[in-house]
Structures are given as structure tokens and as C-alpha cells.
Structure 1
Amino acid sequence: MFGSGRQSAFNTFGTEAAWLAGLTGWMVLGAVVIAAGVGTLMFMAQRSREDALTHRQGMRLVLWAGGVVPTVVLLTLLIATLPAMRPIKVQPGDLRVTVTGEQFWWRVRYQPPGQPAIDDSNELRIPVGRDVELLLEAGDVLHSFWVPGLAGKVDMVPGRTNRLVVHATRAGRFRGQCAEFCGLSHALMAFEVVAMEPAAFDAWLASRRTPAFRGGEGARLFTANGCGGCHGVAGVANGTIGPDLTHLGSRPSLGAGMQKLTHAHLVRFIRNAPQVKPGARMPAYPQMTETDAATIARWLEQRR
């Protein structure tokens, strides 16, 4: 249905996106009215006598239809849109989240006021009804952060931090996308945006501060195969090159929104990520047995 998709500019869940959708509607309506007016004038001109208008009347029509009316319409549109260009001001107690675009995934770091930072990846959670400041960065090449239902797109430039303040108006799961070509798997670089009620968000954030440690064979194989050199898992590894996998089991998708997170998909990704996601920097592990990969996958799936 029109506007019902998880990645649609008409399925809004943020104040900025809702305002933009409303503005788009008014502009489309205005364009239709202008087109209808021009069409009517053309129809009347074709059916009129050659001397239906005097030179003076024709010049007056050009002045009003081609000069005065467009000027008034554009000036009205400018005045109406100026307030929306004013950035949302954040307060010291507002949540800040740093989102870094990588090839081809998203590094997410929550920075609650007065509390330690919390690392995550390929998923962004925000509370409904609160202002959240997003600090947008790029770790390698140009990326672009775009959640159509939340706000406009913002470029992510290496060496620079761009700022976007968002305000979610309703809960739900939505989809974002990299909107700047960044390499082979640019089209496979999506992410989940989860807007949560404030109490649920606070509880979720608290649960991320004390992740449960689970050892066992999966943890041993994860370390033995050098996975911790790139990936972070709280209590097991501190790698920062690749996505943090501490709560991988709670995510609905794998590989930055590329495919549904299932056991079979995870096993395949562990053994040969470049085959699944072209250009991925994670190396293939042809020496790893299917059994070992399945053991690591089950261990990661349990870390919710």
C-alpha cells in the first residue's frame, strides 16, 4: 500500500519527515493547480479568435500570470519553509549517538549523559518523544545516512562529523539505507531503526550495560580462529575493526540488513563473508569446518 513500507518517505515516524511529507503534498497540489491553469489557458487560446485580446490585455496577462502570481507563490513558500530550516536544539541531558559508516556496515555508539558508552552495530534504537542528536561520521569513504521516515539524508564524510537531531513520534521498526555509492556492496548497506517507548528504551539501554557472559566451546572457537581480532564481544573480545557482535542474536538481520538472521545464513557468512557480501573486508575461512562454524553461530545467536 502507498506509504506503508518500512523505508518510505510517506510512512513517517519523525517530526522532520512528517513536515517534509506535508510540504511535498502542498507542492504537488500547487503544481497540479498551475498545470491545470496553464492547460486551461492553452485550450482557451486555441479556441479564441486571433483578435480576442488586445496587445494591452495580452501584456497584462503576461504580467500577472508570468510575474506577479509566481512571485507571490514562491515568496509564500519561502516564508512558510523558513521555520523548518531552524535546527532542533539539544539539551545537555539528551541522548547522543555516534553513527559511523564503514564498508559496508554501520558502527553505532550510544552516549547516555553521565554513563559509559555502549557499542552496537547495524541497528539504531531511539526513544519516542525525545530529541536525539546523531553524530554522523565515515570511517573510510563517503557514505550517506538516510532514514526516509525519520528525517532527510545527511552525508557522512571522512574526517568530519555532521550533526542531525531527530525526534521520533511513534514506535515501530523502520529501515534506513546508505544513499551514497560507497563500493561493491553499497546496495547491501542497510540498517534497522527501532523507535521505542521511553520506558522500553531505558530498559533496553540498561540491559546493554551488563551483557551476560556465556563461555563454552563457541567462545573458545571464536577466540581460536582469531575472530576477536576484529570483532568485539563483551567479556570475550575487544576487536574494533569489524561490527560488535555482543548482542547479535537480538538483531533481525545479518550483514547490515542484507538477509534475515538465521542459523544457516550466519554459518555461511562466518565461513565465507566475501562470497555473500562482495567487497566485505572479513576474510574467508575455508579451513574452518562446517561443524565449528555452526558452533560459533549457535554461541553468537545466544548472546541477546
Structure 2
Amino acid sequence: MWLKDQRCEQVVNDAWQNGLSSAEDNTLQNCLDQCRFSLDYWNKKVFGHVGKKEEERKVEEIVVGYYQNLFQKNNPKEFTELLAAIQSKVTPAMNQQLNREYSEKQSIPLSSCLPEDKLVWAKSPNEKFSIRSAYAVATRLLLQPNRGASSNMGLGRQFWNRLWALPLPHKTRHFAWQACCDILPTKINLLKCKVVQDSLCDGCRMEVETTGHAFITCPRAYEVWACSKVVLLGGAFSLTSFYDIIWKMLMVDQVDVDMVARVVTLACVMWHNKNEVRLGAQRKPGNMLVRWAATYIEEYGAAIVAQTNSEPIM
């Protein structure tokens, strides 16, 4: 299937050239790795899940055929064929559970002295709406990152506390904060400030460079994650920003802080190398960036242990 597509040859040629330009040793192995990463990424972007697409195509044909018959014939065929083609999301067991009768003990008792319903404004002490209170709410929202997942102030504060408590140097935690606030100079942000003329990623020239693309979906980032053996949790590749990824790890999946620190360090290393390439340096291969990140974390841990042992006991 790949060989029938004319773009396949260009993907292999580009990957081979990248392998030659970035390899310092073992050139052949690096070129083969580049081809494997690029073809895998290209296959997911272009072809996707072939079986699923074929199923969707069949359903589409049935839908189109039904409505063609609806407007072209007096007696169109029944709608049951269309319904049978679409997989039901509610299973018979789920439907039976939803429709079963509940006993009186299982029902939720309601209070017999419920107060009368009324409209209140929770942001004012007197529960009455005012322009002043609305302006204060709008100001607070503008001063915070525009993220729907952190609308709960308690959870938002907890997330930032966990981020700043990661076992990493301050400058790396500051990088993570910048990435989560989406204030890194990505191409999309530079375009908004009219610094650059386009927002496409310089590494792949395939998508707009956001924090989600730069650290997750870009082929360069995909290569780093593959070399690092770090298993990003399910759904990470569908998230659109670095904030969403770290939020999911810290607040939803409760991932170990050492693993989160490793993910942040790898992202920081990728960003550092991206800036080096912009200044004219060569792009480092994924395995080299992974070793760099691992050494960085080990040296920081050793420094913390040495500092702790040297402190006098009071």
C-alpha cells in the first residue's frame, strides 16, 4: 500500500538525509531508525486505521443510498439497514440496567421542606448581581491561563503546586510553567506577534507548531519518545497542548512525580535542541537527546544528595 503512494519515496529520502546529517557514529543504523520513525508517523497521518476507514466508507454508502432512494422513489427502502450498519453505543445489558425498576429503598429521598427556588449571584456577598462584581470576575479570568480543565480554582492551585514541586532544577520547572501557560516562542505565538510569516513547524513543515505539536505529535518528538521508552498514557497523542498532557499526568492519572519530571526534562531538551538548530547547529538524534536528559536528571539528583549530606545537623 505504501509503495503505490508517490509520497512514500520522498518520505524515505528525507528521512535518510536527516539520518546522514545528524549522525555522529553508526551512520547506517541512524538512517534506518530515521526511516522507521518517519514511515511510522507518515502512515498514521496519511492512512490511519484502514479497517476503520473502510467501515466508515460502507456506512457512508448506505446513508447516501438511503437518501437517494428517498428523493428518487415513491416507496424508499426501510431505514433498518442504515440502523443496522451503525454500531450501537448502548449495549442491551446497559439498556436493561437503565430501564429496570428501582425499589423504594434504592430511591433518593427528597426533603419535605425544600425552600422555594430563586436566582442568586454567587460572586457577591449579598447574592445579588452587580456590574462591579462581574468586572472583578472578568479580571480574575483574564489574569489566569485560558484553560477549561482548571476552572475549579482549588484543583488549579493544586496542579501548579505539584508542578513547582517536581524534583527538577528551578529553570526546568520554569520552562514547564512557560509551556503550560503557552508563552513559549512557538511558531504560532511568533506569528501572532508578527515575528514570523508562517506558523508551520520548522522540523517537519507538516503542522502548525503549538506546544502539543512540538512536544508530542511532531515526527522529531515522536522519535525522542520512541527512543526514551517512556510510555505516554492513552489519549496523550490526541491532546492539543503541553498543559493538557501534564494536567492529565498529575491530576487525572496520578502518575509518579519522577516520571512526570522525566517527561518535562525530555520536553525541555527537545526545546533546547530546537533553538540550537535555529541558530545553525546540527539537530541531535533522538537517542542522544534521551541520554542527555537522563544525565541531566542523574547529575541533579546527585547534587541534591551531596547538598543534603553536607548540611549540618541541628
* TM-score (normalizing by structure 1): 0.25
Larger helix fraction of residues: 2
Larger strand fraction of residues: 1
* TM-score (normalizing by structure 2): 0.24
Work out which of the two has the higher radius of gyration on C-alpha atoms and give 1 or 2: 2
